[in-house]
Chains A and B, each alone.
Chain A
Amino acid sequence: EVQLVQSGAEVKKPGESLTISCKGSGYSFTSYWISWVRQMPGKGLEWMGRIDPSDSYTSYSPSFRGHVTLSIDKSITTAFLQWSSLQASDTAIYYCARHLAGDYGWFDPWGQGTLVTVSS
């Protein structure tokens, strides 16, 4: 079974750093990009960026470039989303998704989501 399993919920203070993870299994991890998607409380889905696990090449949405960092550890088939300085506005659920069929492709499956709460 193809699965993406994300790390658990986090509660952080503004200014703190954070890394959340997304572990892939059941498929060739380096063959498909991983995209990250944000869902703020009660809101819709926003594409943040994608990473190619084979070479760590990244593409970011302008809304997130410079504020988050995507990375990969192929040895443990895991993708990471990192913040160096969290803001209250980063409070959201973050999903990773396997990105099929290249640029014109689709997202399947999705991880279960990681809730990040940033509050002083």
Chain B
Amino acid sequence: QSALTQPASVSGSPGQSITFSCTGSTNDPGAYNYVSWYQQHPGKAPKLILYDVSNRPSGVSNRFSGSKSGNTASLTISGLQAEDEADYYCTSYTGTSTPLYVFGAGTKVTVL
């Protein structure tokens, strides 16, 4: 079964940039061309912030950016703000594996 691995936590000071990863367990880099990222504040529903690795939906701050290298996708938050403190989840379609979609375990971002 495919899996996505994220660091449990990342922290940074206001104004700094932070980057964290989402690493897939298969050896097919193409399987991770369609990673999407979601932000979840406590007690709230997840919100899409990036799709297809690096595309931002309308209304999402350009401080959020994404990239991919091999089987690892990364999310960068630039100019860190207090409101960015949240949990962040990556997800990807697994193709022929089941379940069809897997989520990473989530990364807790703390703004110091």
Contacts and interface: CB of A to CB of B under 8 A. Distances in A.
Interface of A: 35, 37, 44-47, 50, 59, 61-63, 95, 97, 100-101, 103-113
Contact of B57 (A46, A62, A105, A108): A108
Interface in B51-85: 51-52, 57
Contacts of B91: 45, 47, 106-107
27 contacts: A44-B89, A44-B103, A44-B104, A45-B103, A45-B106, A47-B100, A47-B101, A61-B100, A62-B98, A62-B99, A95-B46, A97-B46, A103-B100, A104-B52, A104-B93, A105-B51, A106-B34, A106-B91, A107-B36, A107-B38, A107-B46, A107-B48, A108-B57, A109-B47, A110-B46, A112-B45, A113-B45
Contacts, number: 67
A35 B45 contact: no
A44 B105 contact: yes
Contacts of B57: 108
B48 A46 contact: no
Interface residues of B, number: 24
Contacts of B98: 61-62
B102 interface: yes
A11 B87 CA distance: 27
Contacts of B105: 44
A45 B100 contact: no
A91 B30 CA distance: 36
B106 A44 contact: yes
Nearest to B48: A108
Contacts of A108: 48, 51, 57
Given A47-B100, A59-B100, A95-B46, A103 B106 contact: no
